[in-house]
């Protein structure tokens, strides 16, 4: 189990801007890797209402369960590696793995048996160290939607924000607000369900 504070800046991109950033950071196609985020909540979105998010991230046959909780400067992340069998049980709503995440969810007065699997978002990702932070280029696919995103993960919010804005200015990319992936997924899911 690991715990850390996630401070990141995000910007949605056009495909052309994504390609421009790929060239700027000299990222080759074979440097991209695949990951899939599987999202969970209750039918009443109790986790979201508690400013929390729950996912399993699958990369190369490994499964990491993550609970994110909103805090002052970012998100507090609790991460636990779980076996594939435990992930499958969560997808089928049979059993929630016991650990720090289950204990934390219970402190939010959420019954673990109410947590349901809503679906997944697949991402092709590349990462680069950049000025005391980590640049992340994502091309994501979910619910017949696709998007491109730039993330900048940092340790210091003020310094990171300055570097992020300077980078966007240098490359000529307008600042665009970007919901996090789970928010974009659920917005699209609600839109799809309304059609």
The predicted-structure confidence for 136-161, as pLDDT tens digits, reads as follows 999 999 999 999 999 999 999 999 99
* Residue 192 pLDDT: 56
> Which whole-number Å values give the CA distances from 68 to 65, 76, 85, 128, in the listed order?
10, 6, 22, 23
Question: d(Cα 168, Cα 49) in Å, to the nearest integer?
Answer: 32
Sketch the domain layout of the chain as residue ranges. Answer: 2-189
* Residue 195 pLDDT: 47
* Residue 2 pLDDT: 87
Question: d(Cα 2, Cα 189) in Å, to the nearest integer?
Answer: 30
Tell me the pLDDT tens digit for each residue of 174-191: 999 888 898 999 888 876
Q: Give me the residues paired with residue 146 across strands.
A: 141
3-state secondary structure of 57: strand
Let me know if 129 is exposed, middle or buried by CB neighbors in 10 A (0-12, 13-18, 19+). exposed
* Residue 131 pLDDT: 96
* Residue 168 pLDDT: 98
Q: Which residues of the chain register pLDDT less than 70?
A: 191-195
* Residue 193 pLDDT: 58
* Residue 52 pLDDT: 95
Long-range contacts of 151-158 (CB under 8 A, 24+ apart): 151/8, 151/9, 151/10, 152/8, 152/9, 152/10, 153/6, 153/7, 153/8, 154/7, 154/8, 154/9, 155/7, 156/7, 156/132, 157/7, 157/73, 157/74
The pTM of this model reads 0.91
Question: d(Cα 68, Cα 77) in Å, to the nearest integer?
Answer: 5
- For residue 148, the tally of other CB atoms under 10 A from its CB is 19
Q: Are 115 and 124 in contact (CB under 8 A)?
A: no
Closest among 46, 45, 53, 81 to 69, alpha carbons compared: 53
Superfamily of domain 2-189: Hypothetical Protein Pfu-838710-001 (2.40.320.10)
- For residue 9, the tally of other CB atoms under 10 A from its CB is 21
Question: d(Cα 115, Cα 160) in Å, to the nearest integer?
Answer: 35
């Amino acid at each position: 189990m690991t715990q850390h504070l996630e401070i990141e800046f995000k910007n949605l991109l056009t495909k052309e801007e994504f390609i421009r950033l790929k060239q700027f950071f000299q990222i080759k196609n074979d440097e991209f890797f695949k990951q899939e985020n599987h999202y969970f909540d209750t039918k009443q979105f109790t986790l979201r209402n508690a400013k929390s998010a729950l996912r399993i991230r699958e990369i190369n046959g490994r499964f990491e369960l993550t609970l994110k909780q909103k805090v002052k400067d970012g998100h507090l992340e609790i991460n636990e590696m779980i076996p594939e069998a435990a992930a499958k049980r969560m997808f089928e709503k049979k059993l929630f793995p016991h650990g720090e995440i289950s204990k934390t969810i219970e402190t939010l007065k959420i019954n673990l048996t109410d947590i349901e699997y809503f679906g997944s978002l697949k991402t092709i990702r590349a990462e680069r160290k950049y000025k005391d932070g980590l640049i992340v280029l994502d091309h994501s696919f979910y619910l017949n939607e696709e998007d491109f995103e730039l993330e900048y993960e940092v340790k210091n919010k003020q310094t990171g924000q300055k570097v992020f804005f300077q980078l966007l200015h240098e490359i000529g990319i307008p600042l665009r607000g970007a919901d996090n992936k789970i928010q974009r997924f659920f917005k699209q899911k609600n839109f799809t369900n309304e059609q």
